[in-house]
Amino acid sequence: MRVLIKAGWLLLAAFCFGCSRNIPEKRGIIDDGVIAGAESVQAWRTEASVNRVKGIDGGDYFKPTGDGVVLKLELAKSLVTILLSEESYPRPGGPVKACLPLPGVMIRFSKTGRYADVFICFECEILILRTEADEKANAYGQSADFDPSHAELVKLAKAIFPTDSTIQSLKESRK
């Protein structure tokens, strides 16, 4: 019975996070200017569970915990460079991951009353970009695999959360 339940979850995850997502012509995430032009960048650890947004299906949201960490300019610039580089993401058409992301890190980019949240799941190597427009529409947002930039994102997470034992235990190499 447990095997059937696990198989069902894997199929659901493959559908929800693979087949159903739109793969843009450009690899990675599509920024509407909030990430590239962010005036402030903050990071939080997130709960390891999914909370329904206002009880509406299709709007999973990962709740930040604790106080946010304001990123120093150098860290913020490095993060923006990684997130907006096509080289940070695999080429479209690769295998679909059968993984249900439970992000451990949330980064909020803010610009003149607008924001974009990036949720990072290091186990699945999937990130989710959710803008304020997505939140208002109870939409999921964009997701992207970040396998090629795993090591760089782990280094940045360790620099952002130097006293967090879970983040510090992440391996830069996936081998």
Whether residue 174 lies inside any domain: the answer is no
What is the rounded average pLDDT of the residues 16-35? 56
* Residue 173 located in a structural domain: no
Task: Tell whether 150 is covered by a domain.
Answer: yes
Tell me the two tokens of residue 149: 């930039």
Please, are residues 134 and 81 in contact by the beta-carbon 8 Å criterion?
no
Number of domains in the chain: 1
Could you tell me if residue 175 is inside a domain?
no
Angle at 55 between CA 49 and CA 57, to 5 degrees: 85
Helix (H, G, I), strand (E, B) or coil at 171: coil
21: domain range?
A: 2-168
What pLDDT, in 10s, does the model give residues 149-173?
Answer: 899 999 999 999 999 999 999 998 8
Residue 129 inside a domain? The answer is yes
What is the pairing mode between strands 114-121 and 105-111?
Answer: antiparallel
pTM (predicted TM-score): 0.76
137-171: b or e for each residue (b if 16 or more CB lie within 10 Å)? Answer: ebebbbbbbbebbbebbbebbeebbeebeebeebe
95-118 pLDDT, tens digit per residue, is 778 888 888 999 999 998 889 999
42 Cβ partners below 8 Å, 6+ apart? 68, 69, 70, 71, 107, 108, 110
User: Is 111 among the domain residues?
Assistant: yes
Does any domain span residue 29? yes
Residue 108 lies in a domain: yes
SS3 assignment, position 62: coil
